[in-house]
Amino acid sequence: MNIVVGGAQWGDEGKGKLIDILSKDTDITARYQGGNNAGHTVVVGEKQYVFHLIPSAILRKSKMCVIGNGVVIDPKALLAEVKILKNQGVSITPKRLKIAGNAHVILPYHRILDGLRESKRKNKIGTTGRGIGPCYADKVNRCGIRMIDLLNPRILKAKLEDNLREKNDVFRKVYDQKNFPFGNIYQEYLNYGRQLKPYICDTAIFLNNAIEKKKTVLFEGAQGAFLDIDFGTYPYVTSSNSIAGGVCAGTGVAPTHIHKMISAVKAYTTRVGEGPFPTEFSTQLKDDIRIKGKEFGATTGRPRRCGWFDSVLVKYAAMINGTTEIAIMKLDVLDDLKKIKVCTAYRYKGKIIKDFPLDLEVLRNVKPIYKTLDGWQTPISGIREYRNLPKNAKLYINYLEKLIGRKIKYVSIGSKRSEIIIR
């Protein structure tokens, strides 16, 4: 079975942990979009690993990993990540990690432009500042630099010259900044190319050959459905298709090869950065859940905004993704609560809205309609069998299943690898 894992909220749903668990039974794990804006955390024993570009499955020695063409790669960040992971004892070799030659490269000017745009805009997006948006913009604008270009000094030189001429105009004339020196970037990126060369290949051929040989692939989504460039809360989104539909364009694996889609959801909701968030807490819970759930970004360290579970969002995400199963993560964070609320619909100007509204102005002004359930008020992290969960925890899960219309197959009850219940 080839399986897609994606987030059904605003990212940080616990995809890393889920990938770590599922990759035990698949051969290859592939990232298909996003870049080092992602932060996927895996805890094994006492050790914590944070992944930004490399699939979380790299921890399993016998498994292979792919960074697909839909990913935007900051080679400097990638090499730094490889170094950190190697220091943590993870084996990363060209045999185990394949990087798409046609993936686009994040250059220093992308990172700087990301920051400059944010600082100049009145309507800030709250990006991670990693240069993701400007890099994808160049890709679509047909002036991007791809990983294979780093292996060809002549091509890299020509493309960099063209790009720098244009970017430097923007730096000077729009943002009142200094020129970017060509020489430094050229040498620096040629050097990255030399280091990464053994990993770079046509990953579409690699993946399709593997599938032909009955190997199984797990596709690791980054971000979440509501950060998707098309279906998210635009413009407060990232610049790629994080939904399952992004897999095919982002890896070259056709839709006919995908068998299952697992959506990860947090037992509540979080969001980092700007944008509407109907169920956001306004009470003390805001801090309580943030602390209990350690809700600080794995990439930027920013505090995450927290709120109740919003079934209007997740139902829409399940539809867009063709979700076959749900994994509910961090259920244990709700252990202490006396009452737990779930958003079942919105109220807007006296009307009840059951579907996710396209118009952000509507989403910004809706009032969530809540159903209140009793909490279980007992620690659940030690439980390993579904039937041993407290009755109210099971009622919560059943209620969410009914609202979303999908089976909740995985229940995560702690950050450790072992803290998961599979039904």
Residues near Mg ion, by CB under 5 A: 12, 39, 298
Q: At how many degrees (to 10) do helices 132-140 and 108-120 cross?
A: 110
Q: Does position 126 bind ligand IMO by CB under 6 A?
A: yes
Distance in angstroms (rounded) separating the CA atoms of residues 223 and 406: 21
Q: Does position 130 bind ligand IMO by CB under 6 A?
A: yes
- Burial of 334-364, coded b for 16+ CB within 10 Å and e otherwise, reads bbebeebbbbbbbebeeeebeebbeeeeebe
Residues 256-315 that bind ligand IMO (CB under 6 A): 272-273
Q: Does position 223 bind ligand IMO by CB under 6 A?
A: yes
Q: Does position 37 bind ligand IMO by CB under 6 A?
A: yes
Q: Does position 116 bind ligand IMO by CB under 6 A?
A: no
**Minimum CB separation from ligand IMO for residue 331, in Å?**
18
The answer to whether the peptide bond before residue 235 is cis (omega within 30 degrees of 0) is yes
**Minimum CB separation from ligand IMO for residue 366, in Å?**
20
**Minimum CB separation from ligand IMO for residue 38, in Å?**
3
Q: Does position 81 bind ligand IMO by CB under 6 A?
A: no
257: annotated active-site residue: no
Distance in angstroms (rounded) separating the CA atoms of residues 51 and 42: 8
Distance in angstroms (rounded) separating the CA atoms of residues 376 and 264: 22
Going 219 to 271 to 335 to 267, the CA torsion angle's sign is: negative
**What is the SS3 assignment for 369?**
strand
Q: Residues touching ligand IMO: how many (CB under 6 A)?
A: 23
For residues 64 and 243, which CB has a smaller minimum distance to Mg ion in the complex?
243
Q: Which residues pair with 64 in a beta bridge?
A: 28
For residues 210 and 227, which CB has a smaller minimum distance to ligand IMO in the complex?
227
Would you state the structure tokens that stand for residue 126, as one six-digit string? 């709250």
Would you state the structure tokens that stand for residue 153, as one six-digit string? 């000094």
40: annotated active-site residue: yes
Binding ligand IMO by CB under 6 A: which of 4, 5, 6, 12? 12
Q: At how many degrees (to 10) do helices 391-404 and 311-321 cross?
A: 60
Q: Does position 222 bind ligand IMO by CB under 6 A?
A: yes
Strands 351-353, 97-100: pairing kind: unpaired
**Minimum CB separation from ligand IMO for residue 30, in Å?**
14
For residues 7 and 357, which CB has a smaller minimum distance to Mg ion in the complex?
7
Q: Which does 251 bind (CB under 5 to 8 A by kind): ligand IMO, Mg ion, none?
A: none
Helix-strand-coil split of the chain, %, nearest 5: 40, 20, 40
Here's the x/- map for ligand IMO, 236-265, by CB under 6 A: it reads as: --xx--------------------------
Residues 6+ apart with CB under 8 A from 126: 118, 236, 272, 273, 274, 275
Residues 6+ apart with CB under 8 A from 217: 2, 3, 26, 27, 28, 29, 30, 207, 210, 211, 253, 257
Which listed range, 57-65, 121-129, 139-147, 358-366, lies at the site for ligand IMO (CB under 6 A)?
Answer: 121-129
Catalytic-labelled residue, pool 40, 52, 104, 110: 40
Catalytic-labelled residue, pool 12, 20, 114, 138: 12
Q: Which does 227 bind (CB under 5 to 8 A by kind): ligand IMO, Mg ion, none?
A: ligand IMO
Q: Does position 29 bind ligand IMO by CB under 6 A?
A: no
Q: Does position 412 bind ligand IMO by CB under 6 A?
A: no
Nearest to 266 by CA among 10, 13, 43: 13
Residues 6+ apart with CB under 8 A from 256: none
The residue number whose beta carbon is nearest to ligand IMO equals 273
Q: Which does 7 bind (CB under 5 to 8 A by kind): ligand IMO, Mg ion, none?
A: ligand IMO
Binding ligand IMO by CB under 6 A: which of 102, 128, 311, 412? 128
For residues 40 and 167, which CB has a smaller minimum distance to ligand IMO in the complex?
40
Binding ligand IMO by CB under 6 A: which of 133, 245, 252, 368? 133
Question: Do 423 and 327 contact (CB within 8 A), yes or no?
Answer: no
Binding ligand IMO by CB under 6 A: which of 112, 218, 227, 229? 227
For residues 302 and 402, which CB has a smaller minimum distance to ligand IMO in the complex?
302
Q: Please report, as ranges, the residues that interact with ligand IMO according to CB under 6 A.
A: 7, 10-12, 37-40, 125-128, 130, 132-133, 222-224, 227, 238-239, 272-273
The residues annotated as belonging to the active site are: 12, 40
